[in-house]
Amino acid sequence: MDIADLSALMGEDIAAGNYADIWVVLTDPGAAPLLGEARRLADSLGCYVHVVISDASLSARAVALGADKIHLAEVPGLFVQTQYPEFALFPISKNAQAAKAAQKLKAGLITDARNLSVDESTRALLGSHPVYGGEYFLDFALTSPAKFATLDPRLLPEPYADPSRRGEVVPNDFIAPEPRFRDLGPVEYTPQSWRPLTKAKVIVSVGSGVKDAEGLSLARQLAEKLGAEIGGDRSGVDFGWVDEAHLVGVTGQEVAPDLYIAVGIRGDTYHNAAIVGAKTVVAIYPNPEAPIFAAADYGVVANPKEFLPKLIAKLP
C-alpha cells in the first residue's frame, strides 16, 4: 500500500508513522496479565508499553509488571483512540470499546485473541480467534497501521513483577465525552428460560444410536430414574424424539449439567462444543471410533438398546 492510498484510507491528518508502541487498557486489577503479554511483544519489537488506567492506585503495580508509561483516563478505551497506538490490547470484557476504538482508527481487531505475535518485517499482528467454543481457531494477520486485540486475562500467565522497574506518569487533559445512552437503574429481570436445558443438573441426551421407539423408551426410563431432563443431538431432533427446544448443540443450547449422559450420540462438533461445561460426561455408543468418546469422561462401547436395560437394573 502506498502513502497516497493510505492517506485516502485514513484521512489526511493521519500518517502511518504516527502509530507507535504497545498500549494496554487496564480496566481492573484482574486484567494485569495483559501487561505480561504487552511486555513480551514490546521486548521483541523494542518499543514502549503504555498503560491506560482509570484508577491511579494501580500505577505502581502496572510499572512493576512492565509498563513504561502510565496514562490516567476516565474511560481508557476512549483515550487510547486519541493516541495512535501501533498495537492496543484490551481485556475481553471491553470487546465493544475495543471495536469502537478500532473502527475510529480504521484498525483491524482480533477479539479473544490467542497466540499473539508480531511479524517483525511487516509489523503485522498475528493471532487466532476461537470459534464454536474453541473447537477450532481462525488465524488472522492484521495489516492496518493500528492493530487491536482483546485478550482473556484468565488464559494468560501471571506476569513477572519487578519492583525495581521504573516508569513515568504522563499527564493528559483528556475529558471523556458523556455516554450516549442513559442508565435508568437496576430492574428485576430474569431472561425467560426458553432453553430448558441450560439449568438442568442431569441430562440424558439421545441420538441416532438409540435406533427406534424401544431405544428411546429405554433412554426415557433412564432419565426418569435419574430425575434427568431429556435432550438430543440433531439426529434426535430429526427423528422427532425430542423437539427443537431440547437440541443440545451450538445452534440449540449449550449445557453445563453435573452429569451428561450421551446415549447413541456420535459426537459431532456442533454437539461436543455445546457440552464442554458439563462436569461429567458419559457416552454410550457402539462405534469405538466415534468422536463422542473424545468428549466423554467415561465411555461404554455398546449398543444402547442392549446396554441400557442392564444399566437401569443396576440403578437404585
Partner 1 sequence: MIILVFLRPVLDPSGFTVNRRAQKIFVNRPSYIINPADKNALEAALQMAGEADTVIAVALGEAQAEDILRQARALGAHRALWVNDDRLKQADAAVVTTVCQRVVEQLGEVDLALLGGEVVDADFAQIGPRLAQALAWPMILDAHRVEAGDGVVRAIAPRGAAFHSAEADLPAVITIARDSNKPRYARGLDVVKAYRAEDAVEVWSAADLGLSEADLRPVTERRGESFPSERELGKRLEGSADETASQLAEVIRKS
Please, which residue, 45 or 312, has the CB nearer to partner 1? Answer: 312
The distance of closest approach from Cβ of residue 226 to partner 1 in the complex, given in angstroms and rounded to an integer, is: 7
Tell whether residue 251 is a contact of partner 1 (CB under 8 A): yes
Residue 95, φ and ψ in degrees, nearest 5: -50, -45
Measured CA to CA, the distance from residue 92 to residue 89 in angstroms comes to: 9
Exactly one of 26, 156, 248, 311 binds partner 1 (CB under 8 A); which one? 311
Tell whether residue 66 is a contact of partner 1 (CB under 8 A): no
Tell whether residue 239 is a contact of partner 1 (CB under 8 A): no
Measured CA to CA, the distance from residue 129 to residue 241 in angstroms comes to: 35
Cβ neighbour number for residue 119 with a 10 Å cutoff: 12
For residue 79, give the 3-state DSSP assignment: helix
The distance of closest approach from Cβ of residue 191 to partner 1 in the complex, given in angstroms and rounded to an integer, is: 4
Measured CA to CA, the distance from residue 304 to residue 55 in angstroms comes to: 58
Exactly one of 226, 239, 256, 286 binds partner 1 (CB under 8 A); which one? 226
The distance of closest approach from Cβ of residue 245 to partner 1 in the complex, given in angstroms and rounded to an integer, is: 8
Tell whether residue 79 is a contact of partner 1 (CB under 8 A): no
The distance of closest approach from Cβ of residue 174 to partner 1 in the complex, given in angstroms and rounded to an integer, is: 18
Measured CA to CA, the distance from residue 269 to residue 204 in angstroms comes to: 18
Q: Where are the beta strands (DSSP E) in 47-135?
A: 49-53, 69-72, 85-91, 108-110, 114-118, 125-131
Tell whether residue 172 is a contact of partner 1 (CB under 8 A): no
Exactly one of 13, 17, 194, 240 binds partner 1 (CB under 8 A); which one? 194
Exactly one of 39, 40, 234, 246 binds partner 1 (CB under 8 A); which one? 234
Tell whether residue 298 is a contact of partner 1 (CB under 8 A): yes
Task: Pick the stretch among 26-34, 35-43, 208-216, 276-284 that binds partner 1 (CB under 8 A).
Answer: 276-284
For residue 160, give the 3-state DSSP assignment: coil
Tell whether residue 48 is a contact of partner 1 (CB under 8 A): no
DSSP code per residue over 256-275: --SEEEEES----HHHHTTS
Query: Hey, which residues between 89 and 118 contact partner 1 (CB under 8 A)?
Result: 95-100, 102-104, 106-111
Measured CA to CA, the distance from residue 84 to residue 15 in angstroms comes to: 10
The distance of closest approach from Cβ of residue 63 to partner 1 in the complex, given in angstroms and rounded to an integer, is: 28
Exactly one of 69, 195, 211, 220 binds partner 1 (CB under 8 A); which one? 195
Measured CA to CA, the distance from residue 33 to residue 152 in angstroms comes to: 9
Exactly one of 8, 56, 170, 175 binds partner 1 (CB under 8 A); which one? 8
Contact 23, 80 (CB under 8 A): yes
Please, which residue, 3 or 96, has the CB nearer to partner 1? Answer: 96
The number of angstroms, rounded, from the C-alpha of 94 to the middle of its chain's C-alpha atoms is 12
Tell whether residue 261 is a contact of partner 1 (CB under 8 A): yes
In the stretch 127-166, what mask flags binding to partner 1 with x, by CB under 8 A?
A: -xx-xx-xxxxxxxxxxx----------------------
Return the closest-CA partner of residue 230 out of 208, 207, 213.
207
